[in-house]
Copies of this chain bind each other. A is one copy, B any other.
Amino acid sequence: MVEAQEIELRGHIIDSGNMAQLMDRVMDMGGNFETLVFEIGKKKTDPSYAHLRITASSKEKLHSILSDLHRLGARPVEVKDVFLVPAEADKVVPKGFYTTSHHPTQVKFEGEWISVGAIEMDFLIVVDTKKRSATAMPLGKIRKGDLVVVGEQGVSVSYPERPREQSTFEFMHGTVSSERPSQTLIAKIAKEILEVRKNGGKIAVVGGPAIIHTGAAKALASMIHNGYVDVLFAGNALATHDIEYNLYGTSLGMDISTGNPVTGGHKHHLYAISEIMRAGSIRNAVDQGVIKGGIMYECVKKDVPFVLAGSIRDDGPLPDVISDTMEAQDTMRKHIPGCSMVLMIATLLHSIAVGNCLPSSVKTVCVDINPAHLTKLMDRGTTQAIGIVSDAGTFLPLLAHQLEIQSGHQKK
């Protein structure tokens, strides 16, 4: 028995590589295809259209092929409504539930296409039949009775097409190499930051403590001071060492101005935490004049929100740290809408955490000295990221400098 289903695919499906991927998948999975209609765009501005018949030797096989093609933007020629099943209990959902990609998604409900809100990778889709709205939600937030989408039927994903005009930014996403012109990249990123800023987009920074250890804290603080950062995602370590540096001149006990370890320096990070505990919070410590500069100081002074997510290896932690990881995730998510760009600097843990919450349209730059960390970020699904193998301690000062130069040029 041969099972068959007709599908269609529209857009710049040739030069985006979508058509090729789709055919690949069908054949890799042991299916077959026949091309019924194939209208290729005559010029580069024309969209193409393909109408194919997919066949497989069993219903199960066909189903699993179609499920895969679905993620590439293909959809059945005749689309039925989504299939909704109520959750049996809190967090207990029907088998075969649909899991989202981080691309724009629509569901067909009562014949109408509805955009899915709050899209994020590996979420479920819950449909509110009264409001006729659909929302992506994590498994852990599903409540008894929520109507959850099951199967791919009635779901349409807009697979991102490769941009036609090569923007500043598309130059090399999805790749990792240490053999690229660092200063050229830095200039491009500065340009993009100014562009995003001009268009009113938000910029998030995700940072690890190596920013302080490598002596780049001043550069990041100046970027916050100058208004290039709208929200900071970090952990206890970045904030602690930033404060340690501003109170004692050290980071992890090393004098940043000499590179030498300091006597008794191993105590400094705990002393820094203790000072903030005494003040009650980072904001209080700034207000009371305990902290007089640095990354956290600029965040407070410039009203840039920061989310300090707790981790199992935290010392202290600072009173501002959200020690519950699920609560920290939720807080993080509140700050993501509106972000057009995210800079991730020298932290694998927080980069993957933030990356998980980003729609694929957010411009993402990740800088790390360790190429394996960049590879891992992309393997975990943040495929839109540009990975730069560089040293935070030289990268951030040069970026801050470029922003100064380029914004100066713009003012003229």
A residues lining the B interface (CB < 8 Å): 14-17, 19-21, 23-24, 26-29, 32-35, 38, 40-44, 64-65, 67-68, 88, 91-93, 95, 97, 99, 122, 138-140, 162, 164, 166, 171-172, 176-186, 188, 210, 213-216, 235, 251-252, 254, 256-260, 263-264, 266-267, 269-271, 273-274, 277-278, 309-317, 323-329, 332, 348-350, 352-353, 356, 369-372, 375, 379, 389-395, 397-398
In the complex, the answer to whether B14 meets A20 with C-beta atoms within 8 Å is: yes
In the complex, the answer to whether B325 meets A178 with C-beta atoms within 8 Å is: no
In the complex, the answer to whether B256 meets A91 with C-beta atoms within 8 Å is: no
Tell me how many chains of this kind the complex includes: 4
Given the contacts A17-B20, A99-B266, A375-B176, A182 and B311 also touching, CB distance less than 8 Å: no
A325 touches which of B33, B164, B176, B325 (Cβ 8 Å): B325
In the complex, the answer to whether B398 meets A391 with C-beta atoms within 8 Å is: no
Closest CB-CB distance, A375 to chain B, in whole Å? 7
In the complex, the answer to whether A181 meets B214 with C-beta atoms within 8 Å is: yes
In the complex, the answer to whether A181 meets B215 with C-beta atoms within 8 Å is: yes
Closest to A17 in B: B20
Contacts of A215 in B (CB 8 A): 180-184
Contacts of A177 in B (CB 8 A): 375, 379
Contacts of A270 in B (CB 8 A): 97, 99, 122, 139
A178 touches which of B44, B332, B352, B369 (Cβ 8 Å): B369
In the complex, the answer to whether B181 meets A393 with C-beta atoms within 8 Å is: yes
Closest CB-CB distance, A293 to chain B, in whole Å? 16
A183 touches which of B16, B179, B393 (Cβ 8 Å): B393
In the complex, the answer to whether B140 meets A391 with C-beta atoms within 8 Å is: no
Contacts of A392 in B (CB 8 A): 182
Q: How far is the CA of A93 from the CA of B270 in the complex (A)?
A: 11
A394 touches which of B17, B278, B390 (Cβ 8 Å): B390
8 pairs of A and B residues whose beta carbons are closest in the complex: A182-B393, A181-B215, A394-B394, A179-B213, A310-B325, A313-B353, A15-B23, A312-B353
In the complex, the answer to whether B325 meets A182 with C-beta atoms within 8 Å is: no
In the complex, the answer to whether B184 meets A93 with C-beta atoms within 8 Å is: no
Closest CB-CB distance, A363 to chain B, in whole Å? 16
In the complex, the answer to whether A38 meets B40 with C-beta atoms within 8 Å is: yes
In the complex, the answer to whether A27 meets B15 with C-beta atoms within 8 Å is: yes
A214 touches which of B64, B179, B254, B312 (Cβ 8 Å): B179
In the complex, the answer to whether A93 meets B313 with C-beta atoms within 8 Å is: no
A259 touches which of B184, B370, B389 (Cβ 8 Å): B184
In the complex, the answer to whether A254 meets B310 with C-beta atoms within 8 Å is: no
Q: How far is the CA of A237 from the CA of B313 in the complex (A)?
A: 17
Contacts of A256 in B (CB 8 A): 181, 184
In the complex, the answer to whether B389 meets A277 with C-beta atoms within 8 Å is: no
Contacts of A139 in B (CB 8 A): 270, 273-274, 277, 315-316
Given the contacts A14-B20, A263-B67, A328-B312, A274 and B93 also touching, CB distance less than 8 Å: yes
Contacts of A313 in B (CB 8 A): 349, 352-353, 356
In the complex, the answer to whether B32 meets A23 with C-beta atoms within 8 Å is: no
In the complex, the answer to whether B315 meets A138 with C-beta atoms within 8 Å is: yes
Contacts of A93 in B (CB 8 A): 274
In the complex, the answer to whether A391 meets B182 with C-beta atoms within 8 Å is: yes
In the complex, the answer to whether A162 meets B24 with C-beta atoms within 8 Å is: yes
Given the contacts A20-B19, A178-B372, A309-B312, A183 and B324 also touching, CB distance less than 8 Å: no
Q: A20-B20, A91-B277, A178-B370 are in contact. List 16 more A-B contacts (CB 8 A).
A: A17-B17, A33-B43, A33-B44, A92-B274, A97-B274, A138-B315, A171-B259, A172-B260, A178-B369, A180-B214, A181-B257, A314-B326, A315-B356, A370-B372, A394-B395, A397-B398
Closest CB-CB distance, A334 to chain B, in whole Å? 14
Contacts of A390 in B (CB 8 A): 369, 391, 393-394
